[in-house]
Amino acid sequence: MDNLAQPLALTLGHLYPEQLNLYGDRGNIVTLRHRCLLRGIELRVVGLGVGDALAPDAYDMLFIGGGQDKEQAPVAQDLYEMKGIGLWAAIEDNMPVLAVCGGYQLLAHYYRPAEGPDMRGLGVFDAWTIHKGPRVPRCIGDVAISWNGMTLVGFENHGGRTYLGSSKPFGKVLKGNGNNAEDGTEGAIYRNTFGTYLHGSLLPKNPHFADHLLTLALQRKYGDQLLLNEEPTNYTGYTETPAREVAAVLVPQTVTVKETVNILEPLDDTLEWEAHASMLEQLGLYTEATQVMRTD
């Protein structure tokens, strides 16, 4: 990273920080900022509320959190009328976007809440969400999924069930409900836009995915100037990634792991992996898997 005159800087647009911020979603921003800070990268965070236009060129990455049905309704209208064109332009230009729960639902075709009219979504994901009504139990609890040959852990609380059309799932449920507690899929992916039900917040306990988002944003902004070395390695330079050890036990070997370029200096994520491990343990997912992580 030293071959660049200016210190690296990224701008993150935080959509609807007041309306969509459940179960610690803001923690994702704190994590991204912290992981940048430790590498001398500046992360500017700009809040975009109802009524604010979205100029895609002003941002390098975007985040939208979750919210209750009553908070989603005004957001859905604003997203469609005020930010739709700018957001689509950013997404089609491979900007990394993380959309959690209620925000994820509004990036699909529509959300049919427990009460009230359907909320029109942006249709980024070929998917739709139906709330099965107050009598059907919500999807609540800790979750573990497999993503790209590794594990992700988090917490979910949603009444809506999401069904995928042609969109690729973000991950496969190892423990929990995921999109609809029926088909084992979790979330959705379109280009570098990731939709997921994982709150918690997601990124503190999943440093490999946090760095994946940062790597995508840096690579999109600075291109190959940043390459630490030519050899593409596994995510973010972790050769002995504990996640891989666990994945080797948990995730079927049929999963092809997509390597990304090596841009970010590895950080000491002992605490993060401990938190990851303890959630896997709580979920009864192979204690020996966590043993592997602990011994590393």
139 tagged catalytic:
no
Of 46, 169, 54, 166, nearest to 104 (Cα)?
169
CB 131 within 8 A of CB 165: no
C-beta closer to ligand GLN: residue 179 or 219: 179
Sign of CA dihedral 18, 24, 25, 26: positive
The span of 48-56, 155-163, 225-233, 268-276 binding ligand GLN (CB under 6 A) equals 155-163
Shortest reach from residue 198's CB to ligand GLN, in Å: 10
User: Applying CB under 6 A, which of residues 17, 159, 195, 237 lies at the interface with ligand GLN?
Assistant: 159
User: Applying CB under 6 A, which of residues 13, 56, 96, 102 lies at the interface with ligand GLN?
Assistant: 102
Site for ligand GLN in 116-135 (CB under 6 A): 131
The span of 42-50, 63-71, 250-258, 270-278 binding ligand GLN (CB under 6 A) equals 63-71
199 tagged catalytic:
yes
CA–CA separation, 273 vs 204, rounded Å? 9
5 burial class (0-12, 13-18, 19+ CB within 10 angstroms)? exposed
Enclosing H/E stretch for 282: helix 270-282
User: Applying CB under 6 A, which of residues 30, 34, 68, 255 lies at the interface with ligand GLN?
Assistant: 68
Choose the catalytic residue: 101, 158, 208, 276.
101
| 160 lines the binding site for ligand GLN (CB under 6 A) | yes
Task: Tell me the HSE value of 167 on the side-chain side, using a 13 A CA sphere.
Answer: 30
Supply the DSSP string of 17-29, one letter for each residue: TTTS--TTTHHHH
| 158 lines the binding site for ligand GLN (CB under 6 A) | yes
DSSP helix/strand/coil, 129: strand
CA–CA separation, 159 vs 129, rounded Å? 9
The span of 64-72, 141-149, 205-213, 287-295 binding ligand GLN (CB under 6 A) equals 64-72
# residues contacting ligand GLN (CB under 6 A): 13
Choose the catalytic residue: 131, 199, 208, 212.
199
| 101 lines the binding site for ligand GLN (CB under 6 A) | yes
**Catalytic residue numbers, as ranges:** 101, 199
